[in-house]
Structure 1
């Protein structure tokens, strides 16, 4: 960056990658793009150019970040259906839930998860989050293993990310999460676009959002992934410790799937904590001072 003012960044527009001075990185949101395949093939590492989509991503670095100093911890914060990541804005910037993490030395990132804000935790969102993680690891001084958070619809995105990339995840926290695509989202859609978004992001044969196709979400509905009946009860294996905060009266994303998620994991001997709050406010999916502090303490519990 010699010869350039520290506030100037060089943007490589065709990839969305850029170079940024340490000083500027600490003061501004870092927006970048990652190329993802819109094909619904599991092997999408070398997609044809006709299917490549440049997805929006954001990285925020804590004040103690140093390019050559001690690596910082990274948190993937999966947004809800209320808003995602554009090339210059991030929905979760409106809320304080990120602040305590940044103040305590955690870097955070999110992705839009494809062309729809309602990414429904599908292949596009998981692919994008992992590619953003790899880009951040390559270009910034962060630890290999990360924490994951999911907020409302981001519960689905984050849980599916954890299942597919558990080797890099330390622990998982969620606020008012969507964990059952059918029971919470399809049967109780929060927007008129919700069912159609499920159909599009999970590659239903019928993309209109009028017909539920359970075979299309097989392996992508968090409540049912790695869940089986042992003849007496439903048992789920979950690869990392998880903690969930949820309002008992939430009518937008009902708490029933959270309770079952916890029960199934505990039936399998896993670790899942649920903090049930006497509230009907789905706005808790964007945090509260108490919840945000508890999320920080939950991550710090692992001594990292």
Structure 2
């Protein structure tokens, strides 16, 4: 008989709802749970000798899917963090990326995957809230399911920022990174070319701008969080980027929603240091490629398998 169990934790992770059948998980079912994150931005500008940081608790939505070959006691399976775009995220009963076949190809090849909403807004912009949430979801899954410690990471559209910032902050758990039509320059690709009326305001909120209206760009708030400009070293002729894991990007050359230029620079900067970066320049203007297609999804699997057991 199928039962639903709710596991409540008072620490970082709580409220995990799982579908089980005699210790064997029913395949391809959405496993929804929440993780506790802190929405408070630390005040590091204060010079008073008292506590100015505190915990603003928020329970973020997360989702996990397991493949048919999952077993609680057998060989562990590989986990993939799939960072969604601005078109939709994770709720307590749905997941935007369920609309796309890329998830099915991963399941069919024995990969489990997860995603998080990344804070109160679907437009999480790859900020500290989304990185907090993704790491805590990863830790919960690692502790409660039979998965390998090392994971793969994927980013789709806006999820390019979420996934890249996760890799920068937690590269010790990442084998390789893949992205479809990614946002890698929060100024050039998002602020200057917003895809929604809410995009600039979302950036301002996510990165704790003084002006939360989205009318003023505050570059100092993005230091260490704007993917294209992290770990860069410049000379008179070139820019060099140190990236901690192998990465592959697919992007339409004429994409008008998320400009290709950011992906090209990201790739070139890594190559300038002799790092491992692949870029597939696709003859297309369709930003819908951020959800993949049969050809891209096949290449994604082949890319992952080069770094898997």
Mapping 1:122-271, distance limit 5 Å: 122-271=127-276
TM-score (norm: length of structure 2): 0.92
Number of corresponding residues: 295
- Aligned structure 1 segments of 4 or more residues deviating by more than 6 angstroms: none
Mapping 1:15-94, distance limit 5 Å: 15-18=14-17, 20-21=19-20, 22-41=23-42, 48=54, 51-94=56-99
Output the CA distance in 1 between the equivalents of 2:174 and 2:27.
24
Asked whether the 8 Å contact 1:156–1:221 carries over to 2, the reply is: yes
Name the SS for the 2:119 alignment partner: coil
User: CA 1:172 to 1:27, structure 2 compared with 1: closer, same or farther past 3 Å?
Assistant: closer
Output the CA distance in 2 between the equivalents of 1:27 and 1:214.
42
- The alignment yields a C-alpha RMSD, in angstroms, of 1.6
Q: CA deviation at 1:238?
A: 0.2
Output the CA distance in 2 between the equivalents of 1:23 and 1:42.
47
Name the SS for the 2:163 alignment partner: helix
Name the SS for the 2:205 alignment partner: helix
Other-structure match for 1:285: 290
Residue 303 (structure 2) aligned to one of 280, 298, 303: 298
Asked whether the 8 Å contact 2:39–2:58 carries over to 1, the reply is: yes
Q: CA deviation at 1:232?
A: 2.6
Name the SS for the 1:83 alignment partner: coil
TM-score (norm: length of structure 1): 0.94
Output the CA distance in 2 between the equivalents of 1:300 and 1:216.
37
Q: CA deviation at 1:99?
A: 1.0
Asked whether the 8 Å contact 1:81–1:117 carries over to 2, the reply is: yes
Gaps of 5+ in 2: 45-52
Gaps of 5+ in 1: none
Output the CA distance in 2 between the equivalents of 1:27 and 1:239.
32
Output the CA distance in 2 between the equivalents of 1:41 and 1:59.
30
Greater fraction of residues in strand? 2
